[in-house]
């Protein structure tokens, strides 16, 4: 990447004997919306806090606009952070909360008024300028917290699960508003969440972390359609994952033997006898009443679950494995308790190398 605004080189963070971030290498571009995604305890918030300066890296280099910042205080880094609890001052009005950083920097009063008014307009909080935080809803507090960070005109905005305290409907609304705001301002957003749908909805790129390791870095489409590790395949959305061994290779068509039966998948760089994983999304699965060449996966339809636009089906395979199968409308050719043969188009499945972790 040419001239990244944020660079992490070999960054490690230890708490005693516990290594929570392991050899993190990451470049983030100007104006990019990058999400750090992973389960609780994977190291994503710690990574954000090291960029912000609230945690000190045990090893490695952190650069902002090409300049090393490991020894700089948070206020010297030209980055601002929005926390999940918003951290607003309860005794101050909305206007004064937003103005606080500029007041501390001794910015002239006229400029403060101009910049705060501009921010209030941008986050649609002008009518609430004189209210205190306890008179605001969760979504309104979130807007004030973002305005307070943006009024300082940072090059990078760090957001640590800022929508976590909101109800589902408001959360989805604020996802759209945040993305629009980021595009309008052109500021680099680094966003932490454990919500996969949120990451897929908002991000230009997603960095998936697991046990302190950066497992995969890519666009939402790349992450969803082409997971590079078993963890990523299982973590992002719903997926059926089979563990098996390659028994035949014909060009890029692999035949794989699993405990549930034989199956086929397209993949490059695999050899006969090699152990591997195969991931197939529920929407690409096919269930038929007759066998399909290349597949010997048999099972019974367990149940149908209606979820509005999608009907989800569970199929119990003969080895006891349950696979998920979904359609936009209920498959009328099969019914509960019916024996079916499971298959898919080999190019729709993903062949994954068997290694412990860390594709990046």
| Three-state secondary structure string covering the chain | CCCCCEEEEEEEEEECCEEEEEEEEEEECCCCEEEEECCCCCCHHHHHHHHHCCCCCCEEEEEECCEECCCCCHHHCCEEEECCCCCCCCCCCHHHHHHHHHHHCCCCHHHHHHHHHHHHHHCCCHHHCCCCHHHCCHHHHHHHHHHHHHCCCCCEEEEECCCCCCCHHHHHHHHHHHHHHHHHHCCEEEEEECCHHHHHHHCCEEEEEECCEEEEEECHHHHHHCCCCHHHHHHCCCCEEEEEEEEEEECCEEEEEECCEEEEEECCCCCCCCEEEEEECHHHCEEECCCCCCCCEEEEEEEEEEECCEEEEEEEECCCCEEEEEECCCCCCCCCCCEEEEECCHHHCEEEECCCCCCC
Q: Tell me what pLDDT residue 33 has.
A: 96
Q: Where in the chain is the domain with CATH 2.40.50.140?
A: 231-353
The pLDDT value given to residue 359: 46
Determine what percent of the chain is predicted with pLDDT higher than 70. 98
Asked if the model's pLDDT at residue 84 lies above 80, the reply is: no
Average pLDDT value for residue range 90-96: 94
Q: Could you give the maximum distance between any two Cα atoms of the chain, in Å?
A: 78
Residue-level pLDDT at 137: 87
Closest CA to 298 of 307, 306, 289: 289
Pick 180 or 279 by higher pLDDT: 279
Greater confidence (250 vs 176) lies with: 250
Rounded mean pLDDT of 151-166?
A: 86
- Asked if pLDDT for residue 76 goes beyond 90, the answer is no
Please state the rounded mean pLDDT for residues 96-113: 92
- pLDDT at residue 224, rounded to an integer: 93
Asked if residue 181 has pLDDT above 90, the reply is: no
Residues 258-312: pLDDT tens digits?
999 999 999 999 999 999 999 999 999 999 989 999 999 999 998 888 777 778 8
pLDDT at 330 (0 to 100): 63
Residue 201 confidence (pLDDT) above 50: yes
- pLDDT (mean) for 24-53: 95
| CATH architecture of the region 6-230 | 3-Layer(aba) Sandwich (3.40)
Q: Give dist(CA 50, CA 20) in Å, integer.
A: 12
pLDDT at 360 over 60: no
| In the predicted structure, residue 167 carries a pLDDT above the cut 70 | yes
Q: What is the mean pLDDT of residues 104-118?
A: 92
Q: Give the pLDDT mean for 317-326.
A: 94
Q: Is the pLDDT of residue 356 over 60?
A: no
Would you say residue 327 has pLDDT above 90? no
pLDDT at 331 (0 to 100): 60
Q: Which of 221, 125, 126, 223 is nearest to 177 (CA)?
A: 125
> Cβ–Cβ contacts within 10 Å for residue 13, how many?
22
Summarised one tens digit per residue, pLDDT across range 209-240 is 999 999 999 999 999 999 999 999 999 988 99
User: Which is higher by pLDDT, 166 or 72?
Assistant: 72
Q: Where in the chain is the domain with CATH 3.40.50.300?
A: 6-230
Would you identify the CATH topology of the domain 231-353? OB fold (Dihydrolipoamide Acetyltransferase, E2P) (2.40.50)
Mean pLDDT value of segment 300-329: 86
How does the average pLDDT of the chain come out, rounded?
90
Pairwise CA distance, residues 244 & 201, whole Å: 33
Tens of pLDDT, residues 135-148: 998 888 888 988 89
- Residue 305 is predicted with a pLDDT of 81
pLDDT tens digits, one per residue of 240-270:
999 999 999 999 999 999 999 999 999 999 9
Residue 14 in this model has a pLDDT that exceeds 60:
yes
């Amino acid at each position: 990447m040419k001239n990244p605004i944020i660079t992490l080189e070999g960054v490690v963070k230890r708490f005693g004997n516990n290594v929570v971030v392991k050899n993190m290498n990451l470049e983030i571009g100007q104006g990019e919306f990058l999400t750090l995604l992973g389960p609780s305890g994977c190291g994503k918030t710690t990574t954000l806090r090291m960029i912000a300066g609230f945690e000190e890296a045990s090893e490695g280099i952190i650069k902002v606009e090409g300049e090393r910042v490991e020894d700089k205080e948070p206020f010297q880094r030209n980055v601002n952070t929005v926390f999940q609890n918003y951290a607003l001052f309860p005794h101050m009005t909305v206007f004064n909360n937003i103005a606080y950083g500029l007041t501390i920097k001794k910015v002239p009063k006229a400029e403060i008024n101009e910049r705060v008014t501009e921010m209030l307009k941008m986050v649609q909080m002008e009518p609430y300028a004189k209210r205190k935080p306890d008179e605001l809803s969760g979504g309104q507090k979130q807007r004030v917290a973002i305005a307070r960070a943006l009024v300082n005109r940072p090059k990078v905005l760090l957001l640590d699960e800022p929508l976590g305290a909101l109800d589902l409907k408001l959360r989805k609304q604020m996802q759209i508003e945040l993305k629009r705001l980021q595009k309008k301002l052109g500021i680099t957003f680094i966003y932490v969440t454990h919500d996969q749908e949120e990451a897929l909805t908002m991000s230009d790129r997603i960095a998936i972390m697991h046990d302190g390791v950066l497992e995969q870095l890519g666009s939402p489409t790349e992450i969803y359609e082409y997971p590079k590790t078993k963890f990523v395949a299982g973590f992002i959305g719903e997926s059926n994952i089979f563990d098996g061994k390659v028994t035949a290779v014909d060009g890029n068509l692999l035949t794989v033997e699993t405990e549930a039966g034989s199956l086929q998948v397209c993949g490059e760089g695999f050899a006969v006898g090699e152990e591997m994983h195969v991931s197939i999304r529920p929407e690409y699965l096919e269930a038929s009443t007759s066998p399909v060449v290349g597949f010997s996966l048999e099972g019974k339809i367990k149940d149908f679950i209606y979820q509005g636009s999608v009907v989800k089906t569970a199929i119990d395979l003969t080895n006891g494995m349950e696979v998920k199968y979904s359609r936009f409308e209920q498959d009328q050719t099969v019914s509960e308790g019916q024996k079916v043969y499971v298959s898919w188009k080999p190019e729709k499945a993903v062949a994954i190398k068997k290694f412990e972790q860390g594709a990046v």
